Structure 1
């Protein structure tokens, strides 16, 4: 794996972190893998580190190329600037698909809380749209109670124009062409439980591909629900909720295609020995060494 940080054009406050696995470990594929653009949450005023690198590394361990978008925050959100940055990130990954061993037709947006709102908006309103969505306890509707802050951030004023209101509630933009969706939250998360159900119903009414998990227990913002992202709080650790990651990976491969394995040895020991110029007896070149 190698790591890259790529700044958004003319704004070094916005960047894309790239966790790219090379083609050496193929996991059944010749070169390319699915990819995720991860959008951490934080109410568009900060980015939660628990929903950034730990999530990227967890998906990378499953053989998926992972990217984390550090998008605009605070007053720089105006005009829904983060959506433009998602367009840039997805376009950049597609442009470099061959270099980064990415399947350009298997790029998904993954978001948590406000990052889930951004990921969903990318799938429904973006110019470079992802092929699928993974949303964790997403704040899909920001037009209800307490929306004054979001209106000020998005529009610089309260009372947005009619055509702008969809930015606060992109659920209204669900059509029959909406990207496949995997979504999860908990019954105890009063911030997102009802709005996620609205999104489920919108997908159901349009006949769109959807998998939805409503876990019983867990607060808002639990990320991976394990020690890797607990940040010192045992409240966000739950082995049952933690299963969402494996479920999402199974879903990715069931929707976008399984890996194809070939029954050949993957050992390179004999190649290394030959390069060193070490002579071996004939009997030592058998399957025992090749498959070591």
Structure 2
């Protein structure tokens, strides 16, 4: 999913939970994009792709933009269909634990680990922001002793709900299969999982997004507001789904500037 010569770092060198083979698609991994400055927070990037693939333009270019504002980044290769829930969520949880565990050696502030994702990757981002744990202190693997709670989340034109009328059907089917359990649909509709402990959130969307309706962002923002969670919400008048950095649209492209200021406010 990248043209970079950088190497992937396997999150489970001895094999990931529920792995069905040994190809790259069976091996969750992160690719590091460090910066020279030490002690900054880091952001893990989750490309979108409807839980069926991972879009190139929502991976490495985003990490390089984060580097340009002095923030270390990691692109996550999480598992997609035919893998189902909870594989992708377990992968991003492991990525947060991994980066936090190795923060000292990586020159990163382990108390400032953010997650940023697009579309279905935005759903994954909102999912880890609402479904995390403090780690297992008795785990044999020291990485599993780390908390997987992010310190900030940035869902970009995200899938939030898995319930009609505003859900993205393809993402839901890839994540849960053809006959999803109604309880899982409810549990994985992120707007239902927000609590006062949900991390500070930066959301952006376009008002006329035909792929994932803007109501997804509204649902999540409303839940954040009800729970008094700090958030930024930015809705642009027009723009197709999947814009990434939106370099061809000077108006929407301002999301990176505003997000950079927000990350500075969060002390990343």
| TM-score range relative to shorter protein | 0.7 to 0.9
- The CA deviation at 1:20 is 1.3
Name the SS of the counterpart of 2:238 in structure 1.
coil
Name the SS of the counterpart of 2:105 in structure 1.
coil
Q: Which residue of the other structure, out of 90, 100, 121, is the alignment partner of 2:96? A: 90
The residue that corresponds to 2:140 in the other structure is none
Contact 2:50/2:174, CA 8 A, preserved across alignment: no
| CA deviation string 1:264-291 (max 9, x = no partner) | xxxxxxxxxxxxxxxxxxxxxxxxxxxx
**What is the total number of aligned residue pairs between the two structures?**
237
Moved more, 124-133 or 36-45: 124-133
Structure with the higher fraction of residues in helix conformation: 1
Name the CA distance, whole Å, in 2 between partners of 1:225 and 1:103: 29
Q: Which residue of the other structure, out of 87, 111, 116, is the alignment partner of 1:110? A: 116
Name the SS of the counterpart of 1:104 in structure 2.
strand
CA separation of 1:147 and 1:59: change in aligned 2, threshold 3 A: closer
CA separation of 1:51 and 1:152: change in aligned 2, threshold 3 A: closer
Name the CA distance, whole Å, in 2 between partners of 1:120 and 1:5: 24
TM-score (norm 2): 0.83
Show the 5 A alignment for 1:246-261: 246-256=257-267
Name the CA distance, whole Å, in 1 between partners of 2:40 and 2:172: 38
Contact 2:52/2:171, CA 8 A, preserved across alignment: no
Name the CA distance, whole Å, in 1 between partners of 2:33 and 2:216: 32
Contact 2:162/2:186, CA 8 A, preserved across alignment: no
| CA deviation string 1:27-57 (max 9, x = no partner) | xxxx211111100000000111010000100
The residue that corresponds to 1:119 in the other structure is 125
Matched, 1:144 2:150: no
The residue that corresponds to 1:131 in the other structure is 151
Name the CA distance, whole Å, in 1 between partners of 2:79 and 2:252: 30
Contact 1:148/1:158, CA 8 A, preserved across alignment: no
Name the CA distance, whole Å, in 2 between partners of 1:17 and 1:47: 14
Task: Please list every run of 5 or more consecutive structure 1 residues that lacks an aligned counterpart in the other structure.
Answer: 227-236, 258-292
- The CA deviation at 1:3 is 4.2
The residue that corresponds to 1:53 in the other structure is 60
Give me the CA root mean square deviation.
1.9
The residue that corresponds to 1:75 in the other structure is 82
Name the CA distance, whole Å, in 2 between partners of 1:214 and 1:65: 27
Name the CA distance, whole Å, in 1 between partners of 2:75 and 2:265: 24
